[in-house]
Structure 1
């Protein structure tokens, strides 16, 4: 029996060790069960809430070529965090004669296995939705407090160690003058040239 391993992490804040750990667990499962792993498909910094993942899509496409019998994942949430996508792509794999196995979530055959797998899929989607709500709530609270919520910052402000915005005494007056010039009818190119002449650069140090 041949298999491929699909590994994924969803954020740039996560590290390569996450992928290494997933592959290690899947490889150990394969060796224990006499399965030959022929390829790894890896998506880095891609959310499982969407199926727009290049390696994932390539794996689904390759499943139709009869190159492997099994897809190994660390947990089902590596495969999908959306119940529709999960059911849809599992059906495609099944039609192609490929079985999906979560090495950390053994599922029994039969009716009980169907129930457990459905619960795991629901929990994965619930976790993703809850996490998104918490992130949005946290960012909203930070914004209301005048704190930076990420990104490269804003010309005219400085960000202190606690992520609070403060007026930059050097650039804030120039930003104010730029708005006044716009209100007086200056063209955008004239305002840009004015800021460049004053040495103002965007937060990436470009003109």
Structure 2
């Protein structure tokens, strides 16, 4: 039974219609026009005024980063409608986690959700209760997925394997998932650390690397962020950490501890200097307060 068959409106609302198609779904007749027509029909039966129509055509429902979906959220934040109506849940959000997050934001804004073809309607108490059950199931699904990912990552880490196809600069991935040092990139890692120890500036190091036609492991130009990523990576001193697993793996070492520590000390020099300055200011302020209080006491006693 369609959700529209059980609709029992209790007040006039301003509605926004949301429709979406992907390239595959169009073959099965889930056209934008048909979705909008069904949603508009429901709104008329409910005496809801349609204020907006948002439609993403040939857009994946994998996440919520869709142009018209984001426009819909923007208008919701401006309090321009009371309920979002869509033909089917998978046209709105494919991920239960995305659905729950979106509903929470819309609920905070006083905006409900209503599906034409499913029992999803957060504009009334029973619908909100049912949605909370759905949200609990989504949270459980998310927790279980996270747990499975962590277990998988931990298993890889125990075998000293790298979890993706993009190991850090200086390494290549073996067929069994472990790493081996790339000799040409090893020299580039050394160069980056030496340049930073000399220059004390990530942008300057990036400039010098680009000037020498050096690129990142993915073939990109160097920038402050990519230099910083290299300087912070403890894998270069054999400290392997994936998920909650940590170990010292000497065969992954590229740098001696002394070079890594010297670069780290240079990176934190500003923080240390700022901390010393702040402490000095606090001490000066405290001394000034004591002096003022003593002056006050002297004036009172005289």
Same fold (TM over 0.5): yes
**TM-score, normalised to structure 2's length?**
0.42
After TM superposition, list the pairs within 5 Å mapping 1:1-207 onto structure 2: 3-5=16-18, 24=30, 31-32=37-38, 34-35=41-42, 38-40=53-55, 46=63, 54-55=70-71, 57-61=73-77, 64-66=79-81, 70-72=84-86, 74=89, 77=96, 80-82=99-101, 86-87=103-104, 89-90=106-107, 92-94=109-111, 99-103=112-116, 105-107=118-120, 113-150=127-164, 152-161=166-175, 163-172=177-186, 175=189, 181=194, 186-187=198-199, 200-205=214-219, 206-207=221-222
User: Who is 1:11 aligned against?
Assistant: none
Which consecutive unaligned segments of at least 5 residues does structure 2 have?
Answer: 1-13, 44-49, 223-302
**TM-score, normalised to structure 1's length?**
0.56
Higher Rg: 2
User: Aligned equivalents of 2:178 and 2:139: distance in 1?
Assistant: 33
Query: CA offset at residue 171 of structure 1?
Result: 2.7
User: Aligned equivalents of 1:43 and 1:57: distance in 2?
Assistant: 17
User: Aligned equivalents of 2:188 and 2:97: distance in 1?
Assistant: 49
Query: CA offset at residue 191 of structure 1?
Result: 11
8 Å Cα contact 2:18-2:36 kept in structure 1 = no
8 Å Cα contact 1:5-1:26 kept in structure 2 = no
Query: CA offset at residue 100 of structure 1?
Result: 1.4
Between 1 and 2, higher relative CO (CA 8 Å, sep ≥ 6) is seen in 1
User: Aligned equivalents of 1:115 and 1:178: distance in 2?
Assistant: 57
Aligned length: 184
Q: Which deviates further from its counterpart, 109-118 or 164-173?
A: 109-118
Which consecutive unaligned segments of at least 5 residues does structure 1 have?
Answer: 9-15
